[in-house]
Every structure is written in structure tokens, then in C-alpha cells.
Amino acid sequence: MASKESSMSFSRKSYRLTSDAEKSRVTGIVHEELLNDYLHRIFSSPEHAPTAATSRKPLNFQNLPEHLDQLLHVEDEDEESQGQVEGRLGPSTVVLDHTGGFEGLLLVDDDLLGVIGHSNFGTIRSTTCVYKGKWVYEVLISSQGLMQIGWCTINCRFNQEEGVGDTHNSYAYDGNRVRKWNVTTTNYGKAWAAGDIVSCLIDLDDGTLSFCLNGVSLGTAFENLSRGLGMAYFPAISLSFKESVAFNFGSRPLRYPVAGYRPLQDPPHADLVRAQKLLGCFRAVLSVELDPVEGRLVEKDSSEWQLQGQPTVLLTLAHIFHRFAPLLDYEVQDCLKQLMMSLLRLYRFSPIVPDLGLQIHYLRLTIAILRHEKSRKFLLSNVLFDVLRSVVFFYIKSPLRVEEAGLQELIPTTWWPHRSGREGKDSKDVKDETAEERVRRRAYERGCQRLKKRIEVVEELQVQILKLLLNNKDDNGGEASRYIFLTKFRKFLQENASGRGNMSMLCPPEYMVCFLHRLISALRYYWDEYKASNPHAAFSEEAYIPPQVFYNGKVDYFDLQRLGGLLSHLRKTLKDDLASKANILIDPLELQAATMDDLDEDEEPAPAAAQRPMQALAMGGVLPLPRPSWLSSPTLGRANRFLSTAAVSLMTPRRPLSTSEKVKVRTLSAEQRTREDIEGSHWNEGLLLGRPPEEPEQPLTENSLLEVLDGAVMMYNLSVHQQLGKMVGVSDDVNEYAMALRDTEDKLRRCPKRRNDILAELTKSQKVFSEKLDHLSRRLAWVHATVYSQEKMLDIYWLLRVCLRTVEHGDRTGSLFAFMPEFYLSVAINSYSALKNYFGPVHSMEELPGYEETLTRLAAILAKHFADTRIVGTDIRDSLMQALASYVCYPHSLRAVERIPEEQRVAMVRSLLAPYEQRPWAQTNWILVRLWRGCGFGYRYTRLPHLLKTKPEDANLPSLQKPCPSTLLQQHMAELLREGPDVAPSFLNSVLNQLNWAFSEFIGMIQEIQQAAERLERNFVDSRQLKVCATCFDLSVSLLRVLEMTITLVPDIFLDWARPTSEMLLRRLAQLLNQVLNRVTAERNLFDRVVTLRLPGLESVDHYPILVAVTGILVRLLAHGPASGRERATSVLLADPCFQLSSICYLLGQPEPPAPGTALPAPDRKRFSLQSYTDYISAEELAQVEQMLAHLTSASAQAAAASLPTSEEDLCPICYAHPISAVFQPCGHKSCKACINQHLMNNKDCFFCKATIVSVEDWEKAASASTTTSSAA
């Protein structure tokens, strides 16, 4: 009404001025006297009669706050005296006794009012007891399982089998079994359910005890309670595993108060008095109206009151609610908590509608709540990470059914990629599509884009939520939201990093994936915003974690492994480096305490154990923890204790300081830190304390954002990578069904029309496969939009680059690199793998910005650190080795290895050529083999040729990568093998040793498999044994290929006998080659029989892989190079007692060597022959084999004719194959040179007498010397 009159007064059609009375009515302005009367009427004290207007102090809005202070003043009783109420003993604030009043393993909420059973039958009591009067408390039943709730005395002793009600002077009600307990048990009460309220009443005046369920009395349960001196009763509960309740001792109003009974905890008397006075003031506002025109107060019925926008009334109400709001904190907080929980449940369980409207609505409501600063901080501190699965807000659940999300309307046309199973071919190219397929694909892609746009709306709202939580400008009157978030976020990471054995406590990985992407978006927004206002800072594209974060103790990494081992060990061994490079001194006493704490935890004294939550959890204790949601899990107090007690001394200036200038700073846990501890100040660099000289002085960004980034990297390592790999299963299902559909359609085309029965079955199968593919293709569109979109790929790529820069900066710090957590290298390796394997074929890694540079940087890291002595963890070293092995398999990544600086390439190859002992030699050997594939004899296949011959149509055969050899790295290898006298012998001896072991193990295993197969009773060979057998075979083949590469690149190592070790290496090689040939080529031998069995798991075991590897070595020795080298190789090979010419003939399918001068006959199709594999072995290579066979046939005939009979006394007593040629000094025993040289590689003791061998001399020289001595005598 007032607004209407206002508009009439200032209308263009009316030019008259308004009167003063009208102006007062319109604006609500009142005179000082009227305002004074109004305020005195509203804020009069009910204890005093109204005084005359002349004696009252004038009131206005300037002095009203002072008047309110006087009005609301209440004489507060001393807190200790409040607790001393007759009949009650203990603190005035009643909570659960988590320090000593418990038995078993329990989890307790932060407010010490909620409890979860975590053992068989845990018991806990309150901190306050009663001995006189009538008392009541309430229990909210959160789960309806086995629990006994009631009262006990302090002398009751409980265990894992006996709880409240099972001992004398303890009484309990059990609504699960509907019984009451006091040593014995009888029926009582009614069954309870989750959500019920149990009231526990005790009357110590009459000595009775009773219970109520949801306000309804269940009757007296017990009478004649023991009373008197020393008898006081505590509220107590015993509950089994996973059961949970919440207590209300009176800290909030009882849900069902009982007349005559008093809650254990007194209500806040002073606050209640103030609230009553303010409510009286509010009622006065409703019953009094101002009349500015008449200048008087008008009494009015409060039910007719309406707010008309009068400034005086609004200001008055503002003063009332300014004082009233703090008194409503609990109610408002509880309301906020319940509202947030309701929003979360609605968001989580609402159906997926086509436009995602329900999810959008709930997210917008959540954003509206979080925009209020105080509400946001309360929810962050007490709800979002403590009570709720807050990450549920960042998850977009996938529909259970395609129809549920309206995907059929969004994507009416389905399509799926076609893949070919043929060797060497990739996915069907777009240019090979038919016109119909192209139309379908484009329609499908348009549908996917429509779906993606709808999902992006939800994702943007989720990012807005995180932007609010990461706000650091709202520090008015308290801590900014970002720093509260950091504390809770770190605890969230700790629980997920440490609770892997308890799946119910972990954040589901599908939630973690979505949370990570939203967090990265919000993080990069604030990072670039800071850069915009600080030109010296870095863009988010240049982000990394400075290395000092890993060793200055400012960020808690819990028990996660460091590259150099345990943190306590690193601080002890690298304390000098910390002092010299980073100006950090470790307190020796604190370091010793921390080290002993790790080593001697079992001998820890009881007082110390009581202070450690993790120790209490392990031995049977109670932890103050959040409510029993999936996020609630034991806090690793062990790690926190270590970090909070391992004090460090930090010298912040960059110049050398004297002892007197050192500043000691104590490392704080996440819960204890303040904004200054993170961001720093003028004399404190916060998270960046201890900057090494290699790091720039200008900060990258705000320190708090660095910690968020560190947490994002940790999240990826915890479960995101595994989930990305898991979701690929949808794409795999599409491919399998597409292949099945194509096979069915092929059968339909080939099926005779007269076979109606078969046609009907095939048509039915075709329909089933088509419907399944329609469903899966739409589901795949959802997965691609939510998990594998281009934006998600860029997020993972950004994390990869962050990790690469972090590792590069950490590497520059020298020995301090060992402090870096292992997961940074793991994330670098895994994120690259995800980008390469999980996001295709829709998105290609090659399209990413800076792709070539990133590949090269990762290659440099893998090449340098796979043999880095600063990295001690076995798992991370294996991961680096496997990543490098995978890297050299693909042309793009192999070229990246070739692009790294030459010095790093040579160092990498040098590490690969180190002796195989005392390190993971198998992975090293695979790397060398992959550098050679494509260059070796018959070594160009991508599918095992023998399998393609037996099953040419089987598209599921194991596939290998296309060969991509590296001539550059082979050249480095050749140069290093020629470099020094010890490099080649040590490397080749280790290769030969491992070949001998691997092939011997393989022969032993196939012998056991053959024996099991020949038994009459039905036997099953262990699949693990078959796998190990196949692995030994593959290792033998790969070791042979490395030998082939070595002989090809540097034949002089074996054939130049001017080298001291060449002859020995050649003899060892010949011996092993002959053993392999004899075992594999013997007629109807063990190898043949096992191959014929075609056992699952032994598909790779066949003649071809191992025989072509051996043939490649023999061809290089006998058909290449100068004649002198061929003659030496031939003589050594023929001199070996295991040599059989028939084994060489076997390679070409011949049972016997051909007569001299005759052509080779055609191979027998039933026999193995290299000539049967012309698709994989060139004509030139076959010609070299024929040349080798002819050469060996001729040479063996000549050797047989020229050999002279040798006395048995002149043969080597070790091998009985060669004449004696060496004598040992000083013992004088003899053998051939080959045997003694091989023996001396590992042992310096004589074969026969065990005396230490000082030297080895030629036997002829020793004989002539003895002859000369005897002649002189």
C-alpha cells in the first residue's frame, strides 16, 4: 500500500508537493520521542515495572546495543559449580569416555556422542555417573543389530563376550532379541528398528530402572537396584561389529522428555534466559505498531501483524536477530546438516532423466547454501568430509538401464567401431567405410554431442561447488574455506591411502574419478586467477610441486613410501645433505625417537600406547572419529604423531648462518596448521621452507594450491587409474559383440537356404547381438562423455606433465631426490599408459598439445631413473623397468627415446649392459630384445607363426607389436661392448648363465608335465606351472636373441682370439647352442611330445621361436665375416662333444645330412622345416642356412678324417671331450683350458684338492720345464 501511494505522489500527472504527514506515512520516519517510546516498549525489562518517561534514559539505535547488553546480562555460574549437582558426579558436559571407559575396539564420533562397534562385542560408558535422583538419557538406534543398552557401575568388568547386563550391577535392554539383561535374561519390551529412540530411565530414589521406545514406556525392567556408598551408575552400551548408535545426554533437547526425570547434562541456563528475553522482545514487536502520522504507539493483535517495510521496525528486528542468531547455532547447524544430507540422498538416488534436471536442481540448491560464508565453513568443518560422502556431489552416476536416462531419444542411431583381427592390421579406417556406415557414424556422433552438452551442465555446477570450497578470500572472522578444505581433504586422502584393506571405508573409485576432474578444473581456475594478478607467478600449464615440499615436513604423506625408503631412514642418512643444500637441520634426539618408534613399536610403554590412536585400534581401543559413513575410518595417528614430533630446524635465509641465527620450526600435522603455516609470512616460507639453490625464488602460485595439486596427484594414484582401466571393459564388450555379430552375418550368408532350422537360429542370434550392441553403444556414449571425453583426457595429460616437471625439478636436487614419494613416478607412468590405451580410438594422444616434447621428457626420465641408485623400492624400480620396456615397443615412443640427449642414451644402454646378477635381468633382457626385433633371423612376425599355421582363422591368437628396431641404440650398444676389456665379458657371461638356467628350468618342467600327462589316472597340470614353463621358454628365446644381436653387432667379441676372453665365450656359446639343438631336434623326444599336447598356456612353446633364434646365431658365426673367424667358430662348434650334424639338418627338415655335391631334397611336410615358413624367412636367409649346412657337413667330414686317436689319460678329466691343455699352480692338477676358464669365473679353488689357484699355465710349457729341471739334475 505504501509503495502504491509513493508512486502516486511522484507521478508526472500530479505536481503538488506531498504533506509532512504523507511523507512520514510513506517513508516510515519517526520522531526521536516516538522512537524512544517504541524502543523502551520493545526492550523493557520484565523484572522491573515501567518507569516514567521523564526518568528513563533516551533510547535510539546508537545506544541500543549497550542497553541490550544490560538487558541480556545473566549471572553465569562457575562452570565447575554447574557440574556439581546433587546426585551426579562428573563433568557438566557428558560424553562417551574414550580414554579409559571402554572394552574392545570401537569407533567414536568427533563429538564423542556416536559410536560404532568394530569388534565382536565392544563396550563403552559415559564420563558422568549418578547416585541419587531420577535421570534419563536417549539413544538413537542407527542400526537394528545386536546391542545391549543401559547402566553399569565403575566396578563392572567387561570383555569381548560379556557386556552391559552380563555382570552384576549392570542392566541392559536388548531390542534386537527383545530381552532385558542382568546376569540372567528374560523377555522384555518390543523390537526396535533403525531410527528409533530408546529412553533409558533410572530412579535411584525408588531403586528402579525402566526404558521407553519412541516415548512409549516399556514398563519397569529392574527393581531393587543396589544403592549406597560407592554405588553410582554410568550410562553404558555394548554393541557388536558394525552396529552404531548416537547418544543424547541432554546437550540438545530430548526427543521424548519424561516428567520428573532430569537429563544427565543440564541445559544451557544462561542462553535459555537470553533466548526467553529476546523472544519477549520479538512478541512485543508483533503486538505494537508505529503510527508516524499521529506520533503514537498502537496496540495490535500479533496475529494481524504484517511487515510493511518500515525502517524503524526492520532495524529493531535486525538488533533482535543479531543477538538471537548465535543462540540458534545448534538448531541452525543441525538443520543445515539434515538439509545437506537430504540433498545428497536426493542427488544420489534420483533417477537419471534425459535432461538431468533433477541432478541440476539439487546441485543448484547446494550451491545456494554454500554461497553463505558461515554455512559453508560449518559444513566444511563438520559435515562435508566428516559425515557425508561429499564426493557424491561430484559424481555423475551411470544409468542402470538405457531407457532410464532417455538415451534412446538422445541417440536414436547406434554405431560401433569395426576392428579387424588380422595380423598387422589396426582398426578399420574411416575412409574404408561404406556410405551407410558413414551416415550411421555421423548420426551417432551427433547424438553423443547432445548427451555430452547435457552432462557438461552438471559438471560445471560441480566445479562451482569446488570453487566455493576453495575460496581463500572469506577469512573474515575466522579461517578461510580453502584451509578448512585442505585439512579435511588431507584426512580424506589419508583414510583412502591407509584403508585399502577395508573396502567399506574407501571412497568408491568411480566417485574418485569424477572428483579428480572437477578438482583439477577448480584448481586450474584459481591458479590462473592468481597468475593474472601476480605476473611473476607461473601459469597452470607450467605447474609442478617444488622438491622442498617432500622433505621439509610441512605436508603429511602418511606411511606412503619414498623413493629412497622410509622417511626416518632418509632423515638420518641424508641429514648432512639437508643441512648443506636446503638449510634444514634435523634434531638428533627427535630423529632417534622417531626411528626407535618405527623399529620398536611392540615394546612401546603403556602411556605412549594410550596416546596413539592407531596403536589403540590394533590392540583393542576406541578412536574419536567421524560418523559411520563410508568416509569414516581410523585416522593414522601413527603418521601424524611421527610428523608432529619429528621437529626440524629450518634456516630460512639463503646465506650461511651461524648457530645463533638458526630458527627452529616445529612441523605441524594437517589439523594443527594455520594459514600462515601454509602460505608463509615475511620470515616464513610456509610449505616452501628449505628451498634448494636449484629452485627459483619466485613462488609458482599460492602454497595452498600446491598442496591441492599434490593431493590431486595422490588421488590419481590411489584409485583413479585402476577405474579408468576398468571402464574400458565397456568398449571391449562392444568389440566382442561386434565380432560375434559379423561372424553370425557371415554364417548367414554361407548357410544353405534349405537349412531353415539353422537359418532360424542364426537369425535369432543376429537379433540378440544387434540389440545388445544397440544397448552397449549408447552406454559407451555415456562412458565416453563422463570418463573418456576430450576434456578428461586433457586433465590426465596435464597431470602427466605436472609429474614430469616435478620429477625433473626433484632430480636436480641430487641426493634429496630420494625424499620424493614414489607415487609421482607411478602417476607419470600410469597416466601415460592411460592416455595411450584407454582414450582411443575416439581421441588420440598424438592430437594433444606438446605431444612430442612430452614423450621425449618421459623417455628421458625412464632412461635415467630405471637404474637410479637413489631409488630403492623394488616395486617402483620394476615399474620403471616395465615402462621402459613398453616404451621401446612402439615407434612413436621409441623415436622419443632416440631424441633424448646422447649422453643419457649412452648411460641408459650402459645400465642395460650391466651384469644381470643382483637385478631384475628378465625385464632388462626384454628391453634389449625389443631393440632388436625386426633385425634378427626370421624375427619380423607379429603373431607366432606356428599358431597361424595351425589356426589361421583364429582372431584371438596372442599378438605382438610390430617390430620397430632402433639402429641408433644398437650402435650405442656396439660401441659400449667394444669400449673396455671387462664390459663385454661380464655382460655375456651373465647372459650365458641366465640362458643355461632358463633352458634347464624349462626342460625340467616339461619333463614333469609329460610325466603327469602319461599317467593312466586323470591328472590336471597346475596352470601356474604351465605359465612358469612358458615364461622360461620365452626367456630362453629372448636371451638367444640378445646373443644374436651381440654377435651381429660386435662379432669380434667371440671371433677375435686376441682378446683374452673370446675363446672361452665362444666355447660356452657353442656348448649352450648344441644343448638347445639336441633337446629340441631329437626325434620323438620330450620337447616334441609336449608340443604335440597343445596344452592351454603353452601356446608359445614350439620349434619355430627357439630354432630360428639358434639358427640366427649360427648363421652369423658360420656364414658371415672373414674366413678366419668362420674357421674358429667352426672348429669350436665341431670340437664340442655335444655337436650333432643331424640337429643342423633338422632345421631344413632333413633326417640325415645330404651327400657331398647333391642338392637338398624337398622338405617333408610332416617334419619341421624352416622352408615351410617362407612368409617369415626370406629366400636369402634360407640360402644362408643351406650354405651353413654344407659348410658344417664338409668341415665335420674333414675333422673326422684328420682326428687321431687320443689316449684316455690325455683327455680332460672334467669334460672328457678335449685333450689336457692347462696345469694349475701351485697344486699341479690339469684339465682343458675351456673347463678351467669357465670354472674360474665363479670359483678360485682347484676342482680336485680345493687349493687356491694362483695361475694357470699351458701344459706343454709345464712339461718342458720339468724336463729341463730333471736334465740339469
Query: pLDDT tens digits for 127-163?
Result: 999 999 999 999 999 887 899 999 999 999 998 889 9
Helix (H) or strand (E) holding 852: helix 851-865
Q: Indicate left, alpha or beta for 49 from its phi (over 0: left) and psi (-120 to 50: alpha).
A: beta
The grid coordinates of residue 903 equal 649422453
- Bridge-based pairing of strands 584-586 and 288-291 is unpaired
Whether residue 391 has pLDDT greater than 90: no
Mean pLDDT computed over every residue of the chain: 80
pLDDT at 506: 76
The grid coordinates of residue 651 equal 634456516
Question: Is residue 37 within 8 Å of residue 288, measured between CB atoms?
Answer: no
Whether residue 1035 has pLDDT greater than 70: yes
Question: Is residue 1040 within 8 Å of residue 1110, measured between CB atoms?
Answer: yes
In Å, the largest CA–CA distance within the chain is 156
Beta-carbon contacts of residue 406 (< 8 Å; ≥ 6 apart) = 353, 354
Tell me what the mean pLDDT of segment 648-668 comes to. Answer: 38
Cis ω for the linkage preceding 1226 (within 30 of 0): yes
pLDDT at 609: 36
- Where residue 591 falls among pLDDT bands split at 50, 70, 90? low
Give the torsion through C-alpha atoms of 61, 62, 66, 69, to 10 deg.
40
Q: Which residue has the higher pLDDT, 797 or 304?
A: 797
Q: Which residue has the higher pLDDT, 1159 or 773?
A: 773
- Where residue 613 falls among pLDDT bands split at 50, 70, 90? very low
Whether residue 313 has pLDDT greater than 90: no
pLDDT at 922: 80
Amino acid (one-letter) located at 955? A
pLDDT at 106: 87
Tell me what the mean pLDDT of segment 238-258 comes to. Answer: 90
pLDDT-wise least confident of 362-366, 623-627, 1149-1153: 623-627
* 1235-1244: long-range pairs with CB below 8 Å, 24+: 1237/1063, 1237/1064, 1238/1064, 1238/1067, 1238/1068, 1241/989
Distance CA 451, CA 533 (A): 37
- Where residue 507 falls among pLDDT bands split at 50, 70, 90? confident
Beta-carbon contacts of residue 338 (< 8 Å; ≥ 6 apart) = none
Distance CA 337, CA 1184 (A): 82
Tell me what the mean pLDDT of segment 170-187 comes to. Answer: 95
Helix (H) or strand (E) holding 240: strand 234-240
Whether residue 339 has pLDDT greater than 70: yes
Per cent of the chain over pLDDT 70 is: 81
The grid coordinates of residue 1122 equal 672373414
pLDDT-wise least confident of 535-544, 1172-1181, 1240-1249: 1240-1249
pTM: 0.74
Q: How far is CA 955 from CA 420, 425, 1173, 1204, in A?
A: 8, 11, 20, 58
Query: Burial level of 544, CB count in 10 A (0-12/13-18/19+)?
Result: buried
Question: Is residue 119 within 8 Å of residue 104, measured between CB atoms?
Answer: yes
Q: What is the DSSP string of 450-481?
A: HHHHHHHHHHHHHHHHHHHHT--S--TTS--H
Cis ω for the linkage preceding 50 (within 30 of 0): no
Name the β-bridge partners of 150: 172, 236
- Where residue 871 falls among pLDDT bands split at 50, 70, 90? very high
Query: pLDDT tens digits for 99-122?
Result: 888 888 888 877 789 898 888 899
Smallest CA-to-CA distance from 549 within 541, 557, 559 is with 557
Q: Which one-letter DSSP state was computed for residue 695?
A: S
Question: Is residue 136 within 8 Å of residue 201, measured between CB atoms?
Answer: yes
- Up-side HSE of residue 1197: CA atoms within 13 Å toward CB? 9
Q: Name the residue with cell 547432445.
A: 450
The grid coordinates of residue 763 equal 537369425
Q: What is the DSSP string of 730-783?
A: HHHHHHHHHHHHHHHHHHHHHS-TT-HHHHHHHHHHHHHHHHHHHHHHHHHHHH
- H, E, C per residue of 86-137: CCEECCCCCCECCCCCEECCEEECCCCCEEEECCCEEEEEECCEECCCEEEE
Question: Is residue 510 within 8 Å of residue 394, measured between CB atoms?
Answer: no
pLDDT-wise least confident of 231-235, 578-582, 1160-1164, 1216-1220: 1160-1164
The grid coordinates of residue 1097 equal 598356456
Count helices and strands (H / E) in the chain. 44, 26
Query: pLDDT tens digits for 1060-1096?
Result: 888 888 988 998 999 999 889 887 678 888 888 788 8
pLDDT at 672: 62
- Bridge-based pairing of strands 106-108 and 622-624 is parallel
Question: Is residue 1153 within 8 Å of residue 1145, measured between CB atoms?
Answer: yes
Beta-carbon contacts of residue 1179 (< 8 Å; ≥ 6 apart) = none
Q: Which one-letter DSSP state was computed for residue 827?
A: H
Distance CA 1153, CA 1150 (A): 7
Q: Which residue has the higher pLDDT, 46 or 747?
A: 747
Query: pLDDT tens digits for 25-50?
Result: 434 467 888 888 888 888 887 554 44
CB neighbourhood size of 1079 (10 A): 18
Burial 154-168 (b: 16+ CB within 10 A, else e): eebebebebbbbbbe
Give the torsion through C-alpha atoms of 838, 839, 840, 844, to 10 deg.
-130
pLDDT-wise least confident of 171-185, 290-304, 663-677: 663-677
Distance CA 102, CA 626 (A): 18
Out of 45-49, 208-212, 326-330, 683-687, the most confident range is 208-212
Distance CA 466, CA 460 (A): 10
The grid coordinates of residue 423 equal 595380423
Amino acid (one-letter) located at 1033? F
pLDDT at 1092: 82
Distance CA 487, CA 497 (A): 15
